[in-house]
Structure 1
């Protein structure tokens, strides 16, 4: 289970121990435990230009170590890309079901993109740059499905309170066929959305958490993320 909710603090302490629970392909199982106690080594790479930073620290709110994605003024991105499992980047696959869970708390109601199910490749190599995407903008948390040709569809939204953790779980069945791909969304334990559509691009997809968007280059954005888990069932990520 994820750690209990708390209010944001400040003092930095960097962790070191990495906890990984490997999957058993024959049954539902945890693929990745992105506990912040393992530091940023739990991610396959960081996309955060200086003076931005991704750190793990204890805010002394009862949660223990959490990730701080700090995007200063003038930057558009501070993200973590992909999962590191056993020291190697985990490769998601087509025609598989994954559940991704995390707690998020932002310092602003306009934090732009906080999660991307990002496609590999650029330009003509892609049909969908990011088939599934979540934003915090205009005081709302929003879930989008983006079809081929950059057709954006808002699938769910809710008012967002800054400085308070929310639990998000996304179930994604990967498919390059719009008829067989699907997404489920859970918010603080309640199912809030379910839809079908293409969820897998030509060169595959990967996770990106943090904050991203040209519309927030004039804002300082902090996204606190905790309780990161990826598995093959809802229970793995809840």
Structure 2
């Protein structure tokens, strides 16, 4: 709370009116503006590089490396997710001490870069459980594949539907804003903005599986098992609206 701004603001009101003749409701409104929380108060979670992998719930990266680094390019400390040749995935998952629920809306904002134009799966809205415990293994996922960023909806029965795509350039930071509204029926939705441009706004889909879901970021795919694939993440945050995690307001 910015208390030191209260008295100067009240003095300014007195200077204009001669005395505080405002109605109680007007005074309360003025005080609310004076003591308002910062604009980023709606951010629910951030992945702090100082916490390392502890910023997440768990990792799926046997044989890979999840570290932090600083490229001295103005981004500061960033997450480095390195999948060496010989394994098919290196991912971070969830958000430390957070749970996910049906009938909710989540927005994630972050910047990321890839070593190659074929990092395969770089985001999964991954279902819990295995086999018959699942109807949808990953209702929403994103791939960097063949020089394009693709976002897929995967319906029950492993029915893949390409929701949208755009050109992708490795070696360049891209700003991502991804929102998912969770529904266990077919009234869910998801939207993706890349570098401020809308790529997909999908409605009337099932986005919550029987045992629930959680997010994963990194690099994963059987077609890249034999090659090194590397992903970098910066300024990963969670909110309830796109405005909460708007990457274009970052001074970077």
TM-score category (smaller protein): 0.7 to 0.9
Matched, 1:126 2:139: no
Which has the higher Rg, Structure 1 or Structure 2?
Answer: 2
Which of 94, 99, 113 is the matching residue for 1:91?
99
Which of 40, 63, 72 is the matching residue for 2:75?
63
Runs of at least 4 residues off by over 3 Å: none
Q: Which runs of 5+ in 2 are unaligned?
A: 1-40, 247-252
* C-alpha contact 1:69 1:78 (8 A) present in aligned 2: yes
Q: What do you get for the CA RMSD once the two structures are aligned?
A: 1.1
- Which residue number in structure 2 is paired with residue 8 of structure 1? none
* C-alpha contact 1:40 1:56 (8 A) present in aligned 2: no
Q: Judge which range, 119-128 or 37-46, deviates more.
A: 37-46
Name the CA distance, whole Å, in 2 between partners of 1:37 and 1:156.
34
Where does 1:105-144 land on structure 2 (aligned, <5 Å)? 105-144=113-152
Which of 210, 219, 224 is the matching residue for 2:218?
210
Q: Which runs of 5+ in 1 are unaligned?
A: 1-27
Deviations 1:106-142 (A, max 9, x none): 0111101000000000000000000000000111110
Secondary structure of the residue that 1:41 maps to in structure 2? Answer: helix
- TM (norm. structure 1) is 0.84
Residue 104 of structure 1: CA displacement?
1.1
Q: Judge which range, 109-118 or 28-37, deviates more.
A: 28-37
Q: Judge which range, 198-207 or 56-65, deviates more.
A: 56-65
* C-alpha contact 2:42 2:244 (8 A) present in aligned 1: yes
Secondary structure of the residue that 1:73 maps to in structure 2? Answer: coil
- Which residue number in structure 2 is paired with residue 75 of structure 1? 87
* C-alpha contact 2:166 2:199 (8 A) present in aligned 1: no
Which of 35, 40, 65 is the matching residue for 2:48?
35
Name the CA distance, whole Å, in 1 between partners of 2:182 and 2:238.
14
Deviations 1:19-45 (A, max 9, x none): xxxxxxxxx821111132332211111
Structure richer in helix, relative to its length: 2
* Number of equivalent positions: 205
Matched, 1:221 2:229: yes
Name the CA distance, whole Å, in 2 between partners of 1:175 and 1:211.
26
- TM (norm. structure 2) is 0.79
